[in-house]
């Protein structure tokens, strides 16, 4: 049995610490991957500082992490897509309420993955580059394709133009980078917001136009640019994005829907230990007030809104649509790129806490990766 080590969250709001972990054999429709690279996400930090609020079902000790790339070392019953030695990238779904086990957390040497949430990667793609994909891709796919969200057509190798335009607010983020590519692959035009320094980046991903989200006239500028087009809704990423998207989408007929990837306030400044409640209480108050304000604004503008939960695709048709039907050939043919670009910030499980802190301080058009 291989020796396994993991970055453990021993209890609510505890420090992350490396320790031994059991090697878990795959069950039916699961595989085990030897992790070679993982990426960090804001949700990993929130689960450490506020897991009792955002993921109250999570047992302790637990292993966090969603983004992993590595090599298949064992396959479970009924798995036909993978063999031992295959190079893959996968969404580690351990913290989803329906999975809820440490063996499926990404921050360990040997990770159990759902076969239908895993994709082979081409030999030309490094594990470090591939690791940026899973959660950002999954969150974007949920928002775009789920029937209870934007419900646009599935991506294809030969997309047919739908003659419709999608607004992606926060195009240079991890979710935005994947949303732009997925929407274009589904046949939709995309307008994106970003910082001016990232305009070329979002256009390279497929956005037709880019707008500065900090501009005082950005909403009116986008509304003017969308005149005469059929709008198919918006994907809102970043604090404050949902309100702006409601104003834009509310100016048009069509699919008046905003899929929200970000709550209306940030919890980044809530510490793990001392001083937690001094930061947490006002943040919760801002979230409640912000949610109420968004609800009122959306109702007045005749716009529907809904939050995205980035792991719901594991239990519906969107997961296989992306990781089985679309992504393998799209990566192999370079029709889809691993984005945003990876920035490797360390090696080994012990480097992950520092990567999470660096991410908290802010990252633009990049995703932080740790090699294992």
Residue 128 pLDDT: 98
CATH code of the domain in which 58 resides:
3.90.180.10
pLDDT in tens, the chain (372 residues): 899 999 999 998 899 999 999 999 999 999 999 999 999 999 998 888 877 788 899 999 999 999 999 999 999 999 999 999 999 999 999 999 999 999 999 999 999 999 999 999 999 999 999 999 999 999 999 999 999 999 999 999 999 999 999 999 999 999 999 999 999 999 999 999 999 999 999 999 999 999 999 999 999 999 999 999 999 999 999 989 999 999 999 999 889 999 999 988 877 777 776 667 677 777 788 888 888 988 999 999 999 999 999 999 999 999 999 999 999 999 999 999 999 999 999 999 999 999 999 988 888 889 999 999
For the chain, the three-class secondary structure string (H helix, E strand, C coil) is CCCEEEEEECCCCCCEEEEEECCCCCCCCEEEEEEEEEECCHHHHHHHHHHHHHCCCCCCCEECCCEEEEEEEEECCCCCCCCCCCEEEEECCCCCCCCCCHHHCCCECEEEEEHHHEEECCCCCCHHHHCCCHHHHHHHHHHHHCCCCCCCCCCCCCCCCCCEEEEEECCCCHHHHHHHHHHHHCCCEEEEEECHHHHHHHHHHCCCEEEECCCCCHHHHHHHHCCCCEEEEEEECCCCHHHHHHHHHCCCCECCEEEECCCCCCCCCCCCCCCHHHHHHHHHHHHHHHHHHHHHHHHHHCCEEEECCCCHHHHCCHHHHHHHHHHHHHHHCCCCCCCCCEEEEEECHHHHHHHHHHHHCCCCCCEEEEEC
- Tally the domains of the chain: 2
**Residue 154 shares a structural domain with residue 252:** yes
Residue 272 pLDDT: 72
**Residue 20 shares a structural domain with residue 60:** yes
**Residue 182 shares a structural domain with residue 251:** yes
pTM of the predicted protein model: 0.95
CATH code of the domain in which 183 resides:
3.40.50.720
Domain range for 185 = 137-307
Residue 339 pLDDT: 96
Does residue 176 lie in a domain region?
A: yes
Does residue 318 lie in a domain region?
A: no
**Residue 96 shares a structural domain with residue 144:** no
**Residue 160 shares a structural domain with residue 287:** yes
């Amino acid at each position: 049995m291989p020796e396994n080590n993991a970055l453990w969250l021993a209890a609510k709001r505890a420090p992350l610490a490396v320790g031994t972990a059991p090697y878990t054999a795959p069950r039916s429709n699961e595989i085990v991957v030897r992790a070679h690279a993982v990426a960090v996400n804001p949700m990993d930090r929130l689960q450490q500082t506020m897991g009792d609020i955002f993921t109250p079902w999570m047992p302790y000790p637990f292993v966090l992490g969603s983004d992993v790339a590595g090599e298949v070392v064992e396959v479970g019953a009924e798995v036909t897509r993978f063999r031992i030695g295959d190079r893959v990238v996968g969404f580690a779904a351990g913290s989803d309420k329906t999975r809820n086990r440490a063996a499926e957390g990404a921050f360990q040497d040997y990770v159990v993955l759902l076969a239908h949430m895993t994709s082979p990667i081409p030999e030309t793609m490094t594990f470090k580059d591939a690791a940026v994909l899973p959660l950002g891709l999954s969150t974007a796919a949920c928002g775009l394709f789920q029937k209870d969200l934007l419900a646009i057509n599935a991506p294809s190798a030969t997309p047919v133009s739908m003659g419709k335009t999608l607004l992606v607010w926060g195009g240079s983020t991890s979710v935005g980078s994947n949303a732009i590519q997925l929407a274009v692959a589904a046949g939709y035009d995309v307008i994106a917001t970003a910082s001016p320094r990232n305009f070329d980046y979002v256009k390279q991903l497929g956005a037709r136009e880019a707008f500065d989200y900090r501009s005082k006239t950005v909403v009116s500028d986008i509304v003017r640019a969308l005149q005469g087009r059929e709008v198919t809704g918006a994907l809102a990423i970043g604090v404050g994005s949902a309100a702006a998207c409601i104003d834009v989408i509310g100016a048009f007929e069509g699919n008046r829907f905003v899929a929200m990837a970000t709550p209306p306030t940030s919890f980044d400044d809530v510490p793990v230990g001392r001083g937690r409640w001094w930061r947490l209480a006002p943040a919760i108050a801002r979230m409640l007030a912000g949610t109420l304000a968004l609800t009122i604004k959306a109702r007045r503008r005749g716009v529907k809104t809904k939050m995205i939960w980035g792991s719901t695709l594991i239990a519906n048709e969107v997961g296989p649509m992306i990781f089985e039907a679309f992504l393998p050939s799209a990566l192999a043919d370079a029709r889809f790129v691993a984005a945003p670009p990876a920035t490797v910030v360390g090696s080994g499980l012990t480097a992950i806490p520092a990567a999470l802190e660096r991410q908290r301080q802010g990252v633009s058009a990049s995703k932080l990766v740790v090699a294992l």
